[in-house]
Amino acid sequence: MELSRRVAGLKPSSTVAVMNRAAALKAQGVPVLSFAAGEPDFFTPDKAKIAGVKAILHNNTKYQPTAGDTETRELLARIMTERNGVPGVTKDHVLVTAGVKMALYLTMQALFDVPAPGQEAQELLLPTPAWVSFAPIGELAGAKVVQMPTTTASGFKITPAQLAAAITPLTRALLLNSPSNPCSTMYTPDELAALAEVIAAAAKTTAPGLVVVADELYQHIVFGDVPFRSIGSFTSIAERTITINGSGKSFAMTGWRIGWVSGSGAFGKRFIEGLTKLQGQTITAVPGFTMAATRAALTECDEDLDRMKHAFKRRAVVMYDALAAIPGVKLARPVGAFYVFPDVSAHFGKSTPGGVKIDSAAAFAEQLLGLHHVAVVPGEDFLGEGYKHIRLSFACDEALILEGAKRLAAFIASLK
């Protein structure tokens, strides 16, 4: 008996795989330092936890309206309008779902058709390196992923000319993730304006149905000089932009599984109606108490947000300085999210003291974990030039960062 081709061909998440491997070693008593997890080490803010518990005690434990409860959808519409500056968003333009992964899954299912035999697949433009699940989620929906390569030197950002050249009549969507996992760089408002101009122009000619999917999950974890701006706030492309966000990363609420999708104008409303049908036939709705906790996070936890943001800002400096001092390690300065994505390919071709050849990021990460007990994510699955890189999360305390960097430096010094 076989599984479907769709599932049989699906790659497991490499970040989850490293996390599991590190946890298994730890359980055996190995002193592993893990920089693999993409989640804050902080606890969910008390006010959010209390709101969740209160909701449970008040019996908010039954099925919820499919697209989310009215209070949460209205709050998110107000935030998208007032804080993110996106025009044309009402509660009917918002759907609450089980985390940003599900938000992306529903979005891709609603955008792409599986091509009929003999038909060409619609294209999903993806600047790479990109978070490991973007391509699989697009491909599950029938998209052909078209990579737009970026490099450390360009801050891992696509240029307007690169975007203009990549758009064809088959292009259905562009997926933007700023601040970026794994690169931790972000587009400036001017750069977003220039991309929006290209999109608006292409929509008038080459690709009338073009949609921008903006994963803005790291919106609040921004600590450089670049101010955050939603690409959906540019009126020329607002209606063709689908914005995705969630409470997991900003409010240390990854396990509460709350994400949301919002659109704008007539298309945005139809899009959310489509997603609501899909959600109704899959997960039904998200729990009411996790929505209550998220509302509290969004309205009462600004101090917690600030505290965590400042910690990430300090850690970004500690991590960058420690890694930039290691010979043959090249990296961009993180300005948002909580990752560094160093290029370690200068060491490919060398061998460990035991004679194991380091010929890839996977081999590098494997030996670093085995010999020095430091867990990092090898970059291959982030696509593009990711195969030269490793990803380290700095969602952990500064002492751990310094110790991890020391072990990484020792590992690199041992390679010959």
Indicate the pairing of strand 123-128 with strand 33-34.
Answer: unpaired
Stretch of 2-10, 64-72, 246-254, 408-416 contacting ligand PMP, by CB under 6 A = 246-254
- 100 interacts with ligand PMP by CB under 6 A: yes
Q: What angle do CA 73, 249, 106 make, to 5 degrees?
A: 50
- 323 interacts with ligand PMP by CB under 6 A: no
- 250 interacts with ligand PMP by CB under 6 A: no
Stretch of 54-62, 73-81, 97-105, 119-127 contacting ligand PMP, by CB under 6 A = 97-105
- In the complex, the smallest distance separating the C-beta of residue 324 from ligand PMP, rounded to whole angstroms, is 23
User: Using CB under 6 A as the criterion, what x/- string covers residues 120-159 for binding ligand PMP?
Assistant: -----------x----------------------------
Structure tokens at 189: 């408002």
- 101 interacts with ligand PMP by CB under 6 A: yes
Structure tokens at 57: 């005690």
- In the complex, the smallest distance separating the C-beta of residue 14 from ligand PMP, rounded to whole angstroms, is 12
- In the complex, the smallest distance separating the C-beta of residue 258 from ligand PMP, rounded to whole angstroms, is 7
- In the complex, the smallest distance separating the C-beta of residue 39 from ligand PMP, rounded to whole angstroms, is 7
- 259 interacts with ligand PMP by CB under 6 A: yes
CB 330 within 8 Å of CB 183: no
User: Using CB under 6 A as the criterion, what x/- string covers residues 276-315 for binding ligand PMP?
Assistant: ----------------------------------------
Nearer to ligand PMP, 38 or 232 (CB): 38
Stretch of 93-101, 290-298, 319-327, 344-352 contacting ligand PMP, by CB under 6 A = 93-101
- In the complex, the smallest distance separating the C-beta of residue 68 from ligand PMP, rounded to whole angstroms, is 15
- In the complex, the smallest distance separating the C-beta of residue 204 from ligand PMP, rounded to whole angstroms, is 30
- In the complex, the smallest distance separating the C-beta of residue 415 from ligand PMP, rounded to whole angstroms, is 30
CA distance 391 to 17: 14
CA neighbours closer than 13 Å in the CB half-sphere of residue 132 = 20
- 245 interacts with ligand PMP by CB under 6 A: no
CA distance 357 to 94: 51
CA distance 184 to 163: 20
Near ligand PMP by CB under 6 A: residue from 138, 155, 248, 263: 248
- 215 interacts with ligand PMP by CB under 6 A: yes
- In the complex, the smallest distance separating the C-beta of residue 52 from ligand PMP, rounded to whole angstroms, is 16
- In the complex, the smallest distance separating the C-beta of residue 179 from ligand PMP, rounded to whole angstroms, is 9
Residues 6+ positions from 407 with CB-CB distance below 8 Å:
33, 368, 372, 373, 374
CA distance 49 to 259: 17
Near ligand PMP by CB under 6 A: residue from 66, 97, 177, 178: 177
- In the complex, the smallest distance separating the C-beta of residue 100 from ligand PMP, rounded to whole angstroms, is 3
- 38 interacts with ligand PMP by CB under 6 A: yes
Residues 6+ positions from 281 with CB-CB distance below 8 Å:
none
Nearer to ligand PMP, 110 or 217 (CB): 217
Stretch of 94-102, 165-173, 269-277, 289-297 contacting ligand PMP, by CB under 6 A = 94-102
CB 286 within 8 Å of CB 106: no
Indicate the pairing of strand 241-246 with strand 211-215.
Answer: parallel
Provide the binding-site residues for ligand PMP, judged by CB under 6 A. 38, 99-101, 131, 177, 181, 215, 217, 246, 248, 254, 259
